[in-house]
Structure 1
Amino acid sequence: MEYVIEEAVPNDPGANAPRADKDKFKKHMDNMLDVRCLMLATMTPELQKQHGDMVAYEMIQNPKEIYEGKACKERYETSKALFQCKMNERSPVGAHVIKMMGYIQTLEKMGFALNDELAIDVVLQSLQDRFNQFVLNFNMNEINKTLPQLLGMLRTAEGHIKNGGSKSILMVREAKGKGKKVEKSKGIGKTKSEGKEALKPKGGVSKDGKCFHCGKPGHWKRNCPVYLEDVKKAKAVGA
């Protein structure tokens, strides 16, 4: 009867375990060593010095503890800059919105993404008072747009504001109303009696004026007795 004597590996936690468990443990250690070498190869020389004596698990936990506080501070600073961002009077609206979109994308990369509705509200709240009419129309019409689409709309609105678009429309409306009033005052609505009165000659018969029929002063031809008498005679002869 033969007995197989296996040598115990010093400092091996699985020295008294079966060979199958020993093989698993050895494979685990080899994989951990490969991961450790791979992680060190991707680090900068300074980080390699700091993590040279650590195993793979410790190399993962150490940077997490170091940079977790830094990431929290960066998130705070980015969110603060986003919510306190206000448009400058001299800066164009395009540059302002692109700047805010950069803050929003940075928060998204950190795992704190804003939905489209909240992001658009933050951008609209940061605009100047000259965009109040645009914001009012945007909210009343419940327009669903993305941030790039909102950027295009704001650029178009800024062009109309610079050209005085709203003011010119108001002036056109006022001019139309004034034109209607002028036309109405020219003669629309006048009565027939007012038209006849306008045709009547002003003043009476001049003392120096003479009748064109009899040559005597003091009356018109139509009121001349001689003329009227001649007209009666002509009618009698014709009859």
Structure 2
Amino acid sequence: MASTVTSTNNLSLRSILEKDKLTGSNFLDWERNLMIVLRHERKWYVLEEPLGEAPPANAPTAARNAHKKHLDDLLDVACLMLATMSPDLQTGLINTNAYDMIRQLRDMFQTQARTERYDATKAFNECKMVKDGGVKKKNGHASTSKGKGPVQAIQSAPKKGKGKGKKVKPNKARTENRCFICNEIGHWRQNCPKRHEAVRNEVKCPEVAEDLKYEIFKVKTFLNL
């Protein structure tokens, strides 16, 4: 039962490689997925350690079994690698073991893939810098006008009718000013000539109102009359 579960898990992980087969430009991604699968299956070592010489017939059983396991894992990994790459790549690597195969693939594609990834990353960063720069410039322009009070906003706003003189309304003749003493139009009672004359001469005339008596007293006091 445990072996069945392990086989199912291995197949699930191997499907990662089958979905994205090696074509050359995707080598770094393919190698990363291959490493994940082989580490889960405890077979990554075959790509890091070369297969040693076969032990002699009289070698300990453990040594002979270890060599046989390494050979079997090497064959299994080689088949997995070939099955998850394009037919063009399979043709040139069909008779290569897994240890040599990964090195040939690295020589062919690792430098190219890293260069392409570097160029792609550089282009992305440049585009991002241009975009961020535009945003910062826009924000900087906005910040110059931010914080202006109502007075500044009014001062900075274009003035309507700038350069045109103000229209001066003609003064209307104040014909409505009527003196309550002489009943004439054109001055108030404070400027009435008859009032001034009455104040100085203490003339009592019917045109002078009762409240004028107090005004006469005040004027006399001021003039020391």
TM-score bracket, shorter-length normalisation: 0.3 to 0.5
TM-score (norm 1): 0.39
Greater RCO, CA 8 A, separation 6+: 2
